[in-house]
Amino acid sequence: MGRSAEAVSVCERAHQIQPSPWTSAALARVYALAGNKSASEKILAELLQKHPDGVFVSDYDLATVYAALGDRDRAFRSLEDAQRSRSEWLSYVKVDPQLDSLRQDPRFGAILNRMGLDRGY
């Protein structure tokens, strides 16, 4: 919608209220979309660090961050990892606007095909 400053503000507030891997991924994604790639990549690096308390970061969420950063290769690797781990978020892969930048890539169609979601695509 072109309201990146508002989106950044909302995601920053959400992360302050409830810091979690999900709010971190959302913040990393919105920073990337707002053009602040260094802030996005910093949060992404923190998400990818191994946490002793077993904090889980969804491969699907990582794919949305990579897509926002324009890193298609890592986005598709994360989607393939999400498929292997049977991420519940994959049920939205065909319609999720966070992945719109990947739809024209043949790898996207291949993922849909493997999931049996390629009809009508």
Burial of 120 (0-12, 13-18, 19+ CB in 10 A): exposed
* Per-residue model confidence as pLDDT tens digits over 70-104: 999 999 999 999 999 898 889 899 999 999 999 99
Task: Take residue 106 and report the two structure tokens written for it.
Answer: 């043949």
The pTM is what? 0.88
Please name the helix (run of DSSP H) or strand (run of DSSP E) that holds residue 28, with its range, or none: helix 21-33
Phi-psi region of 86 (alpha: psi -120 to 50; beta: other; left: phi over 0): left
The model's confidence at residue 54, banded by pLDDT at 50, 70 and 90, is: low
What are the residue boundaries of the structural domains of the chain, listed by start? 4-115
